[in-house]
Structure 1
Amino acid sequence: MFKKIFLFLIIVCCSVSAQTSYRNLSTENWTFNKQNETKKHKATIPGTVHTDLYENQLIPDPFYGANEKQLQWIENENWEYESTFSLSEKEISNENIELEFDGLDTYATIYINGKLILEANNMFRKWTISAKNHLKKGKNHLKIVFLSAVQKGKVEASKLPYTLPEKERVFVRKAQYQFGWDWGPRFVTAGIWKKVQLKFWNSAKIENIKYRQVELNNQNALLEFTTEICVSEVKTIQLKINEKLETFHLKKGTNKVKMHYEISNPKRWWCNGLGFPHQYEFHFSLEQSRKIIDNKELKIGLRTIELVQDKDEFGTSFYFKLNGKPVFMKGANYIPPDSFLPNQTSTNYQQLIQNARKANMNMIRVWGGGVYADDEFYDACDANGILVWQDFMFACAMYPGDEKFIENIKQEVIDNVNRLQNHPSIALWCGNNENDEGWHNWGWQKQFNYSKADSTQIWNDYKKVFHEMIPQTLDSLLSKEKNLYWPSSPSIGWGRKESLTQGDSHYWGVWWGKEPFEMYEKKVGRFMSEYGFQSMPNLETFQKVIAKEDFNFTSKAFKNHQKHPTGFETITEYMTRDFPVPTSMEKYNYVSQLLQAHGMKIAIEAHRLAKPYCMGSLYWQLNDCWPVTSWSTLDYYGNWKAAHYQVKESFAPIFLAVTENENGFSIIGSNDNLEAISGTLAAKLIDFSGKELWTASKECTLDVEKNTTCMQISNVDLPKFKKEKTVLALAFTSNHKKTVAYHYFVKPKELQLEKPTIEINIVGETLIELKTNTLAKNVYLEANSAFFEENYFDLVPGIPKIIKTQKPTQETKIFSLFDAMNE
């Protein structure tokens, strides 16, 4: 009896010790100090030197007021991080111990027990060190010295005989936006910005898993999994995928084994608006003698994605097919959600992507001047049906092309593609943001006085990275269905005619060129991957970072939270064209948001009306990295601006628009569903008091491949009406679902509005009903931090509106355009 129990315990202990295990070193006690200073301070891992300094009350809040300017010294210093941890006899007895850094920012020299073991030089890479021979039982000391990325970049820049655009930042493989952008502050960080851990393993471990779809149809899916297994010696091992088990004979070192897996009647992964983003769960376990050695889990979505570029009468198409269906892509450009990325949590990423889904988006572009996002971001995109256009991290500059630099970024590509490739949300890999356009259109050759030889060298270096190394590396890593690559976004600069007939387009005639919003209707390309307009965030957002006495356009604090050199000047110029320009800060803030929403409405409407010529609309930008006046529709704290509510309406699956001509009006229906939809279109001409001047209705079927003209309205059919006091109300009803739209005949500032009396009735715990006696334009609701599913909406007499709230509301503040017009 005793022998049996003893033998059982031996088997259990062996099983436990054979299992791959981890020790999170992020939770150990860490300290940091400026190099050559003896006093040490508590550090938080993951973190940054800026946040550690702030938590230790050594610097003021970086986001507050104009504090940014007095904190620039931090980037020029070297910083040291240290921790002491103990290893048990059991831990040290493992055959292999690896030290894993998921992210080091950026130039990091790592010492274990006083011995140099690694020098890292890339924020975007994962660094793994074989640490068994450097560790001991009992106390161990880990020290990391971070050298100033700014100073290192300047040293590298000095080695070239010419100056590259953006100087030191292009030599440093770290988040480019940290060097300052026209929406973000300059905080060039350093630190252990992602998890650090020890990995213990013995006979074998799973290194990486990838899969390809050998076959996918309605009856069957055949998958081929390639599992990379590392073993310490020749051995026979079993790999189990869910309930399927196969035996493999492996050599010492790294082995790649393939297993097929079939799924009957597979469910496809669909993007938001077209179906459910179904995912299958797979459990991988590495076994020997019925003992589990290592295991991993993987979620995958079965889908096909294609980028279609066919020659046509206009130029060349640019659109995506998902599961064989052409899809109009609707979404935005994503920037890092914080200047100090460890501040963000899994919940933050989930809420951000849910806000994109709620606004009827189906694609997000991860912009190339930030970072490859955290796993939680892509998990949220997978779960919410949001496709990802993934830039590599290069933006608005030219980069060196020496062998050492290219090898570094090649490993960066390998690390991140291996990490991200299994996500069904990944639709496209893109080399860079605006580097090609910048070289050809921004005058760098003249600005930096390049010789012909310099220009040739710089452009050849560009081609080595974006036309050779990256696509060749992708070819080596990805199966055919995952390998969609686009060298640069945009493919052609917005000032050239070809930018609207082929490839993707960044159109900045509005804002940078100060062209009127109506130019959005003329400047429509095949796929609009950038365009946008600024607005202020809600006042509550600014009140957290700007003192009350500094709440004016002339204060240093207020100016510091507008990073565009002529930002407010541009906003005011556009506001003067279309809206009243209030003098009070509160009303100006409100109208700035209406202005942005107005511009986005015109742009998105133009893009959707051009379907199928145009098949994508991704505005700049979705979010902010700090509290600021910017192009975002969600502010730093996740609050919806007026534009985000407008985007939700403009990106809706069924969209109604009115086009005017000399003879009258056309009502166009756009349908982004998988099938045609039949319903009834009702049109009413209503004056602002609620009187119906004209009505018409018509049965209509909305096509999916192209837009449908549902109704033509001749001027002779309409009674005479005053354009300044009339609205055309539209409603398309199908299967008890109603899409509503309002069309005005003059600019907002020309509307003859009267003071509305708005009645609010609570009709459910989280439902309110609103009625008005006269047109209430752009009604803004605010109540004890409650979120309203609709806001900044138009309220028409005789057409009550029911709004859902996040939580029960008591006193609700109401504001409308009339209030802004009448100070």
Structure 2
Amino acid sequence: MLEASPLVDGWILRHEGEALAASVPGCVHTDLLAAGVIPDPFVGRGEREVAWVGRREWTYERELPGVPSGHEQTDLVFDGLDTAAEILLDGRLLGSVRNMHRSYRFDVTGASGRLTVRFASAYAEAEAVRGRLGERPAAYAEPYQYLRKMACSFGWDWGPTLVTAGIWRPVRLERWSTARIARVRPLVTVEQGAGVVELRVEVERTRVEAGLTVTARVGGAKAHARVEGTSAVVRLEVPGARLWWPRGYGGQPLYDVELTLDQEGEALDSWRRRIGFRTVGLDRRPDAHGTGFTLVVNGERLFARGVNWIPDDAFPSRMTRERYRERLRQAAGAGVDLVRVWGGGIYESEDFYDACDELGLLVWQDFPFACAAYPEEQPLRGEVEAEARENVVRLMPHPSLVLWNGNNENLWGFRDWGWEGRLAGDSWGEGYYLGVLPRVVAESDPTRPYTAGSPWSGSWAHHPNDPAHGTHHSWEVWNRRDYAEYRAEVPRFVAEFGWQAPPAYATLRRALPGEELAADSPGMLHRQKADDGDGKLARGLARHFAAPEGDFDRWHYLTQVNQARAVAAGIEHWRSHWPVCAGTVVWQLNDCWPVTSWAAIDGDGREKPLYHELRRLYADRLLTLQVRGEGLVSAAVNQSAEPWTGVLRLRRMTVDGEVLGTADVQLAAGARAVGVARVPAELEPTGAKEFLVADAEELRALYFPLPDRDIPYPAPEFEVSVAPGSVTVTALTLVRDLLLQADRLGPDARADRGLVTLLPGERVTIGVTGWETPDADAARAALYCLEPSR
């Protein structure tokens, strides 16, 4: 039977003649940090102090133990090397590698001695390739498009420039005889009520002998097949298999698949995975509105409630199974049912996809290409196809994976960012997105759809970012306009949009110790990576609120309010136009370090107000008030399986609490549908002091006709009481966008809700965890709300 021995201990990292203890898996930065050689790049402006690390060559070493007899072959297996490296054993070159996204296997049968992994600087490798293949344009000046490495290692508009190197995934020795399982492609389908698994198996052999057999088991079914040459196909049917569904649509039953390879009854190797039975498709048919983009799972058409996922740590080797699960549980807790793994990062570990399988989170997987023209010549072309084939097969078992996507914004960039003229006919990646990658997916994983890019209209017949065709990235609003303009169009699928805000206060205090915080203090400026990001934040804020001059706490609160308001403006509008619009994917769920960004969860894992707002926006039932045509409508968005009927109570009010008029309107929305009703004209608010309240069951929608800066809010008055695990606020006036910043009570404190608006006399109880000594004065000091414009 194949035996595997992890090579975890005994590694050293060579640094200026010294041998430092090294962690494997790991990276140079984390080893240097552990040894006290470099400061924490996440604290202060430490990022700048460690820039030299990415420019150096680095060497990892350990003894490779002698291999006991009893097996015919011994392989040295690296699951991931970052990125350009030579592997040597006692000075003999085993091989050279240049792709972070691949695994590698070397025959070391009968060998032992000093194992050396010598990493070149990623900059040196990238610049050498650029010198051979020529310059290619990109969104950033760093040379990330010239090697197969996590692009955001080189910095992004939310990420630090920390160019890593190291053995970032596990390494082991595998000892085996006769044959081993080299690859398994599980094609999982549903046919006439039965779950069907077809396992396409490839084996590696030390010698050609007859009698190799594969046996597969799943869900009580069992089947055998003989290995012919180096391949076999075994098919199993599971009658009555329960379907795997995305969260909110059904359960997530998972089935264990076990495959064994044996010779005349002797087990040689085994392969185990979990699968789920479901069908998935992508409806891209043209219609009266353009070209659709609707995910279909088990025949059910979905409005995708999505978030974009970036690497959760700038040093991905630090990610653990527990941390993946924590972050993805947060996503599910916000009502998310789709996570897009963005193309400037990595193919994530099995832990990520396992958690998505269990939580019912659909996965949209980008191939790792982002915001650049990528050369298509060697040595990159062969690496791209090899990594695609490996990772498509690796991730195939996961039922959560429903879409392969060729790239992020490169087709758009070619058309709109001045690339075409600069390239002058040079290759730029089109051959990957419209040739290599769809071919690999069709050959290896025909059970899932592929799309060439995001955004992408489906063909060059339409602009790549045409909102009427395919996927759309809505960035003009953040870059140049007011977020109210999200309501100006109804894209078919919004794959990226978002608004910035700083991280939680406690996160800033940890990351910037001793700094007097201000919007433009040195540490805050260092944590604004977006082009004119602070200018866009300020202009976006000024359209709605009076500027909080010199008051960091108010600025911090208002920018977080504005982020939640902006995202709400888009999602409420687009969800209310289902099925024309079939999904929103917020940029972004998470951060990889403490930074001002578009994230809903900051770099320390703390939830911004946007996170809690997503819980409302992505709930199965959403109530919203929208301007359509000449008046107001209420939209009841119902993504549940049951019809939603009832009475919608409307109240026209003043900010001083006076009720000017009321009406009851019948609410009716079918299952997975939207019900729209006209608001009576006499209830539409006029002037700065009026607003409209809509209540149905436990849901509420508000409509204010003017920006907050023009509304004469009363001075907020409220009472506060505390109890173990809760803070209760009773409003004596209108209290707009009340927020308990729980992390100001203590760095471990968390609140169970975000922004809430209370009418006079209303009360809210906010659950708080991690706060050991409840105190009413401390709670009041941590409460923020809108105040009259000064």
Pair in the same fold by TM > 0.5:
yes
Say if 2:355 is the partner of 1:380.
yes
Query: Displacement, 1:602?
Result: 0.6
1-structure distance, mates of 2:634, 2:137: 51
- Counterparts of 1:454-603 in structure 2, within 5 Å, are 455-458=424-427, 462-479=429-446, 481-482=447-448, 484-491=449-456, 499-512=466-479, 514-549=480-515, 551-582=517-548, 583-603=550-570
Residue 32 of structure 1, aligned match among 13, 20, 34: 13
C-alpha change, 1:88 and 1:395, in structure 2 (3 Å) is closer
The answer on whether the counterparts of 1:101 and 1:195 sit within 8 Å (CA) in structure 2 is yes
Residue 235 of structure 1, aligned match among 191, 211, 215: 211
Say if 2:415 is the partner of 1:440.
yes
SS at match of 2:18: coil
C-alpha change, 1:406 and 1:755, in structure 2 (3 Å) is same
Deviations 1:248-280 (A, max 9, x none): 44356x32231323232x221111222222222
Query: Displacement, 1:690?
Result: 4.5
Which TM-score applies when normalising by structure 2? 0.92
Q: Which runs of 5+ in 2 are unaligned?
A: none
Residue 732 of structure 2, aligned match among 770, 773, 784: 773
The answer on whether the counterparts of 1:336 and 1:371 sit within 8 Å (CA) in structure 2 is yes
The answer on whether the counterparts of 2:591 and 2:603 sit within 8 Å (CA) in structure 1 is yes
1-structure distance, mates of 2:412, 2:272: 41
Say if 2:754 is the partner of 1:791.
yes
Aligned to 1:431: 406
Aligned to 2:194: 220
C-alpha change, 1:148 and 1:653, in structure 2 (3 Å) is same
The answer on whether the counterparts of 1:72 and 1:187 sit within 8 Å (CA) in structure 2 is yes
1-structure distance, mates of 2:591, 2:64: 38
The answer on whether the counterparts of 1:500 and 1:524 sit within 8 Å (CA) in structure 2 is yes
- Counterparts of 1:243-322 in structure 2, within 5 Å, are 243-250=220-227, 254-264=230-240, 266-287=241-262, 291-322=266-297
The answer on whether the counterparts of 2:216 and 2:257 sit within 8 Å (CA) in structure 1 is no
Query: Displacement, 1:557?
Result: 2.8
The answer on whether the counterparts of 1:156 and 1:168 sit within 8 Å (CA) in structure 2 is no
C-alpha change, 1:197 and 1:305, in structure 2 (3 Å) is same
Residue 332 of structure 1, aligned match among 299, 307, 318: 307
The letter for the 2-side match of 1:141 is R
The answer on whether the counterparts of 1:236 and 1:247 sit within 8 Å (CA) in structure 2 is no
Residue 731 of structure 1, aligned match among 679, 695, 701: 695
The answer on whether the counterparts of 1:663 and 1:714 sit within 8 Å (CA) in structure 2 is no
Aligned to 1:419: 394
Query: Displacement, 1:692?
Result: 3.8
SS at match of 2:25: coil
Say if 2:700 is the partner of 1:700.
no
Residue 99 of structure 2, aligned match among 110, 122, 129: 122
SS at match of 1:501: coil
2-structure distance, mates of 1:665, 1:169: 49
The answer on whether the counterparts of 1:171 and 1:399 sit within 8 Å (CA) in structure 2 is yes
Say if 2:181 is the partner of 1:206.
yes
C-alpha change, 1:175 and 1:421, in structure 2 (3 Å) is same
Residue 132 of structure 1, aligned match among 109, 134, 158: 109
Residue 43 of structure 1, aligned match among 9, 22, 47: 22
Say if 2:38 is the partner of 1:20.
no
Query: Displacement, 1:748?
Result: 2.1
The answer on whether the counterparts of 1:689 and 1:773 sit within 8 Å (CA) in structure 2 is no
The letter for the 2-side match of 1:121 is R
Aligned to 1:623: 590
The letter for the 2-side match of 1:274 is Y
2-structure distance, mates of 1:356, 1:542: 23
The answer on whether the counterparts of 1:239 and 1:247 sit within 8 Å (CA) in structure 2 is yes
The answer on whether the counterparts of 1:730 and 1:741 sit within 8 Å (CA) in structure 2 is yes
Between 1:223-232 and 1:338-347, the stretch displaced more is 223-232
Query: Displacement, 1:675?
Result: 3.9
2-structure distance, mates of 1:79, 1:610: 54
The answer on whether the counterparts of 2:244 and 2:252 sit within 8 Å (CA) in structure 1 is yes
Query: Displacement, 1:101?
Result: 0.7
C-alpha change, 1:438 and 1:771, in structure 2 (3 Å) is same
2-structure distance, mates of 1:713, 1:497: 37
Aligned to 1:97: 74
1-structure distance, mates of 2:191, 2:725: 44
The structure 1 segments of at least 4 consecutive aligned residues displaced by more than 6 Å after TM superposition are none
Deviations 1:687-730 (A, max 9, x none): 445554433324432124642114x3323357xx7754444332
C-alpha change, 1:280 and 1:725, in structure 2 (3 Å) is farther
Say if 2:126 is the partner of 1:142.
no
Aligned to 1:177: 152
C-alpha change, 1:282 and 1:661, in structure 2 (3 Å) is closer
Query: Displacement, 1:473?
Result: 1.4
Aligned to 1:82: 61
Deviations 1:748-799 (A, max 9, x none): 2233333444344568x64554321112222222244332221222122333
Query: Displacement, 1:742?
Result: 2.6
The answer on whether the counterparts of 2:246 and 2:361 sit within 8 Å (CA) in structure 1 is yes
The letter for the 1-side match of 2:85 is A
1-structure distance, mates of 2:223, 2:469: 49
1-structure distance, mates of 2:47, 2:188: 50
Identity of aligned residues (%): 28
Which TM-score applies when normalising by structure 1? 0.89
Query: Displacement, 1:559?
Result: 1.5
C-alpha change, 1:441 and 1:88, in structure 2 (3 Å) is closer
* CA RMSD of superposed structures (Å): 2.5
SS at match of 1:511: helix
1-structure distance, mates of 2:652, 2:134: 68
Q: Which runs of 5+ in 1 are unaligned?
A: 1-18
2-structure distance, mates of 1:750, 1:510: 21
Query: Displacement, 1:505?
Result: 0.5
Say if 2:337 is the partner of 1:355.
no
Aligned to 2:763: 800
Between 1:95-104 and 1:126-135, the stretch displaced more is 126-135
Query: Displacement, 1:63?
Result: 1.6
2-structure distance, mates of 1:436, 1:220: 40
C-alpha change, 1:40 and 1:472, in structure 2 (3 Å) is same
The answer on whether the counterparts of 2:147 and 2:380 sit within 8 Å (CA) in structure 1 is no
- Counterparts of 1:688-767 in structure 2, within 5 Å, are 688=655, 690-704=657-671, 706-710=673-677, 712-716=678-682, 723-733=687-697, 738-760=698-720, 766=725
Query: Displacement, 1:496?
Result: 5.6
Query: Displacement, 1:294?
Result: 2.9
Query: Displacement, 1:571?
Result: 0.7
Q: How many matched pairs? A: 773
The answer on whether the counterparts of 1:99 and 1:128 sit within 8 Å (CA) in structure 2 is yes
Query: Displacement, 1:486?
Result: 0.9
1-structure distance, mates of 2:771, 2:765: 14
2-structure distance, mates of 1:419, 1:103: 13
Aligned to 1:652: 619
Deviations 1:330-363 (A, max 9, x none): 1111111111111221111111111111111111
1-structure distance, mates of 2:523, 2:393: 43
